Amino acid sequence: QVQLQESGPGLVKPSQTLSLTCTVSGASINSGNYYWNWIRQPAGKGLEYIGRIYTSGSTNYNPSLKSRVTMSVDTSKNHFSLKLSSVTAADTAVYYCATEGYNYYYMDVWGKGTTVIVSS
Amino acid sequence: DIQMTQSPSSLSASVGDRVTITCRASQNIRNYLNWYQQKPGKAPKILIYGASSLESGVPSRFSGSGSGTDFTLTISSLQPDDFATYYCQQSYSNPRTFGQGTKVEIK
């Protein structure tokens, strides 16, 4: 049973870089069985897809965020990470990580989410 | 990007009602359409994948239909646990995109 847990600073200053980690348990991030996704949700609003990374390091980013997003995988720690640069108040949201199967096309396992507030 | 449009944005219904939510894609996505349920303060939960396949453990009162650009999520008899926000999501192409959500409230 795959489980995901997001972690990272809950408060980030404007113009700085938001850094989050999603720790994977119950599966090897190196298995090749999943795409590792990030999604965010501003308070009271809908879901916004940020992007995904595969074990190989290949990525797909939302074009609206692509210039500011970097995703990576750390196989030694069995986690994957999100960095979002030059943040503004508009990046304040709950950030979720989620799996999408390599051979199926839906996100079936989600972390509980972590709230990030951008404020000075 | 493929745009996903849900309707209605919200609805009020009573326990036992039949509820239908629609989702339209801006281009043909075949059957690469998923439905999620989200309750306040919780992560989304997959209900339906591939437009009409019920995820394991999801009650059979939930069903999905459609193909191409037009899709429907139906709750045959609304239960108290079903009051939540529902999102469609396309997995036909990258980036994945979600509908804006439909909030189902108690009448």
β-strand partners of A81: A21, A72
Close Cβ partners of B60 (under 8 Å, ≥ 6 residues apart): B54
Which residues does chain A have within 8 Å of residue B99's beta carbon, measured at their own beta carbons? 46
The shortest C-alpha distance from A86 to chain B (Å) reads: 21
Confidence category of residue A108, pLDDT binned at 50, 70, 90: very high
DSSP codes joined into one string, chain A? --EEEEE--SEE-TTS-EEEEEEEESS-TTSSSEEEEEEEE-TTS--EEEEEEETTS-EEE-TTTTTTEEEEEETTTTEEEEEE-S--GGG-EEEEEEEEESSS-SEEEE---EEEEE--
Averaged pLDDT of chain B: 97
Residue B35 has pLDDT above 90, yes or no: yes
Q: Which token pair is A45?
A: 């609003």
For residue A62, the chain B residues in CB contact (below 8 A) are: 1, 95
What confidence tens digit (pLDDT) does each residue in B56-78 have? Answer: 999 999 999 999 999 999 999 99
Give the 3-state secondary structure of residue B80. helix
Residue A111 has pLDDT above 90, yes or no: yes
Token look-up 């030694």 returns A76
| Number of Cβ within a 10 Å radius of residue A21 | 17
Which residues of B are less than 8 Å from A49 in CB distance? 95-98
- Partner residue facing B43 (CB), from A46, A104, A110: A110
SS3 call for B82? helix
Residues of B in contact with A100 (CB under 8 A): 91, 96
From A62, A105, A112, residue closest to B32, measured CB to CB:
A105
Higher pLDDT, B10 or A104: B10
Beta-carbon separation of B49 and A106 below 8 A: yes
pLDDT at A103 over 90: no
Q: Which of A65, A95, A66, A97 is nearest to A80 (CA)?
A: A97
Distance CA B80, CA A13 (A): 41
What are the tens digits of pLDDT across the range A50-90?
Answer: 999 999 999 999 999 999 999 999 999 999 999 999 999 99
Question: What pLDDT, on the 0 to 100 scale, is given for residue A102?
Answer: 86
Confidence of residue B104 (pLDDT cuts 50, 70, 90): very high
Residue B99's closest CA among B35, B11, B44?
A: B35
Interface of A with B in 56-95 (CB under 8 A): 60-63
User: Both tokens of residue B55?
Assistant: 């995820």
The residue type found at B39 is K
At B46-58, the pLDDT tens digits run 999 999 999 999 9
Place of tokens 């079936």: A108
Q: Looking at the complex, report in whole angstroms how far the Cα of residue B36 sits from the nearest Cα belonging to chain A.
A: 9
Of A78, A84, A94, A87, whose CA–CA distance to A29 is shortest?
A78
